[in-house]
Structure 1
């Protein structure tokens, strides 16, 4: 970290997980550190900022800067940028803590500190801390917890509206980018539940440091002095991404190999090798039958906690991203296949991507999906996926098949919800 940069710790976690309790604990135990805090809440009155100010004997207009009535990862991004630049200009602190709303994704917040020239010149993130309500985390992936992540007025949400996704979606987004994960409220779980929670967290985010806490009590040194964030790997740390990378050159039935970032002294191995959670990678250069694939996804067993990747769906000449988190499954268009572009554009893209896997018949069209879960029946999953592929006859009339998958750029469809 640059000597002149202000270190930043970003706190995220679902509503009620214990973020504000953690923040007040850090303020009360700051020692010689001078901390500045930026608190975001979704209401017109920033309740969290008031609680922080009250509990820590700080004035909201002084040591605590607040952003209200919005989410710092989206609507209030410009306000966040202005606030942190102003704080740096009037600097009277050693470290900035950003507590995001319980319905915010931490990745866009982190990218502000790494991509905005005004902000990156003054700050440097050293940790993305996600606080988990351990009991709720387990329940979410057992299909018993169904709180919505956004949408103050549930009656105003249309069917399939992406703004009212289940809690499991948000937990995944907050977890997969974390560099530190606090398993909080551990006093409400027994030993077996805690071990299961740790297993799931380690499989979903194997690069994060995991800390068990009660009432968000943790030694501040474990959060402040680790320099655990690497902006170069933001968005590339999730367990499903590591499974894909490790399986890239493996034969379908071979054992997964250890792999890790160059220059590190750790091997980041597949979850089934380290944590007792299975991972299964499926690759195929034949498209799925849209109805059979849709039914496969909707029938995924509860043992599959997370699945992610790109699917080739017949009748949709676009990349369809599949994202499943517990009971929630959604499909999003992530652009066209390069093979579907005009020849001039196709050649340009290929010349700029010499490592692009290309097939003489299908170009870059293919499916790459990762499944992570407990007690996975990999052979059964593979068999069901292969049965969902189109036959030659079906491929010839692909455009006439009933198709529930999206086709427009960035279009998203909810395929399953609690």
Structure 2
């Protein structure tokens, strides 16, 4: 049994973006690499696996398809861990390709290979690669009609998934580039850089790319998997600026890319009605906004997640300041670095906005207009409130 870990490349992208075409190209241009492949599809019939196997001598046994070129395809679903351990035990190969289904988020797949488990002992993630249908990517943020999702998450807008797949990627293929103008491709690159600043972008047609640009590149950093998104970087930068006295309203531009981001912080709650209206009327130039909001009349932290035309709110747990005194004091004693306001405790809004041609002063002014006025504090519990109350509850404030 080999002692060094096997590198893994995870391929993700929406349905029809070109993942399977890319996979076949990688197999055809593997050279001396001995590749194994795991293909995940959401249907009972693994269509992608059949497409990868097309034109080969195929033997199917126990849900595993053995190809004449030495590649393995199997349906992942809940058996991913068992499948990849079995692959390492039964076959000799030096690189694993995992093609996630079109409705999958790549981060949970990557975590399987990085957490303490029998899988992590045999494998290491080399890179997360996201394939974008560039035309669809641009249209989804312009509010144009886009195809429906399918599978268990069909009720979630496509823009949510596209952003989640980009925000963790090491490499992003701007596929179907022939269907876009040069200006549109430039805009797509700007958006990717804003969403995932450290990702490499590659413009492709029909998923044609040199395998050496995707395999054996060592781009994945497991320690930063949860810190990759542009909105998290903007928030972290703003934290550092705040510590050094730059103030709450410091701006974080990526002006060289034509995309700007800024952080809005405030220790005063939002009026639920006015803030909901603000979110529903966000200008098209705001591509991504995310963070935590303090909503009047709610004891819990309300998470805000906007991706293009989609805006959703969820409860992320209670404010520590809202807990019984004993629990509150215990929590604070275990978190000595927790920022604490004498009057409001840990209650604070922290929202990041990322976009192109965004009128930041106007957005800031509109956000401040959404805050509860001095004479409204006593009415907070009586406001009509569209935001969720219970842990795990989600409210759709805007959708395509």
TM-score range, shorter chain: over 0.9
- Secondary structure at 1:117 match in 2: coil
Does the C-alpha gap of structure 1 residues 318 and 255 become closer, same or farther in structure 2, counting only changes over 3 Å? Answer: closer
Match of 1:396 in 2: 378
Q: CA deviation at 1:32?
A: 0.7
The reply to whether residue 65 of structure 1 matches residue 48 of structure 2 is: no
1:295 matched to 2:277: yes
**1:334 matched to 2:342:** no
Give the conservation status (yes or no) of the 8 Å contact 2:103–2:151: no
Aligned residue number for residue 176 of structure 2: 185
Structure 2 residue aligned with 1:54:
54
Return closer, same or farther for 1:374/1:3 CA change in 2, 3 Å cut-off: farther
Query: Secondary structure of the equivalent of 1:395?
Result: helix
Task: Pick one of 252, 265, 273 that aligns with 1:283.
Answer: 265
Distance 2:279 2:291 in 1: 13
- The aligned residue for residue 357 of structure 1 is 339
1:44-193 matches, cutoff 5 A: 44-55=44-55, 59=59, 61-62=65-66, 63-67=71-75, 76-77=77-78, 79-151=79-151, 163-193=154-184
Q: Is the 8 A contact 1:24 1:55 kept in 2?
A: no
CA distance in 2, matches of 1:132, 1:380: 32
Residue 200 in structure 1 maps to residue 183 in structure 2: no
- Structure 1 gap segments, 5+ residues each: 153-161, 257-269
Q: 1:282 to 1:243 in 2, by over 3 A?
A: same
* Residue deviations 1:319-370 (CA, integer Å, cap 9, x gap): 1110000000000111111111222222222232222211111111000001
Alpha-carbon distance in 1 for matches of 2:272, 2:371: 9
Aligned to 1:375: 357
SS in 2 for 1:279: strand
Deviations 1:228-278 (A, max 9, x none): 11111112111111111111223245454xxxxxxxxxxxxx423x31111
Which is worse superposed, 139-148 or 205-214?
139-148
Q: In the aligned structure 1, how far is the partner of 2:282 from the partner of 2:224?
A: 30
Tell whether the 8 Å contact from 1:296 to 1:385 is kept in structure 2 after alignment: yes
- The match for 2:247 is 251
The CA deviation at 1:392 is 2.7
Aligned residue number for residue 259 of structure 1: none
The answer to whether the 8 Å contact 2:110/2:125 transfers is yes
Specify whether residues 94 and 184 from structure 1 end up closer, same or farther in structure 2 by C-alpha distance, changes over 3 A only: same
1:202 Cα deviation from its structure 2 partner:
0.6
Does structure 1 retain, via aligned residues, the 8 Å contact 2:131–2:173? yes
Structure 1 residue 91 displacement after superposition: 3.1
Distance in 2, Cα, partners of 1:394 & 1:237:
39
Whole-Å Cα distance in 2 between the matches of residues 226 and 56 of structure 1?
A: 28
Give the conservation status (yes or no) of the 8 Å contact 2:141–2:307. Answer: yes
Number of aligned positions between the proteins: 386
Structure-2 residue corresponding to 1:17: 17
TM-score (norm 1): 0.89
Match of 2:33 in 1: 33
SS for the counterpart of 2:294 is: strand
Supply the distance in 1 between the matched residues of 2:251 and 2:144 (Cα, whole angstroms).
Answer: 34
- Superposition deviation, residue 93 in structure 1: 0.8
In the alignment, the residues of structure 2 paired with residue 303 and residue 57 of structure 1 have an alpha-carbon distance, to the nearest angstrom, of 50
Give the distance between the partners of 1:96 and 1:349, measured in 2 at CA: 43
Quick check: 1:271 aligned with 2:254?
yes
| Corresponding residue number in structure 2 for 1:42 | 42
Consecutive aligned runs of 4 or more in structure 1 exceeding 6 Å deviation: none
Uncovered stretches (5+) of structure 2, i.e. residues with no partner: none
SS in 2 for 1:178: coil
- Structure 1 stretch displaced more, 11-20 or 239-248: 239-248
8 Å contact kept, 2:136–2:146: no
Distance 1:56 1:230, change over 3 A: farther
Is contact 1:24-1:56 (8 Å) kept? no
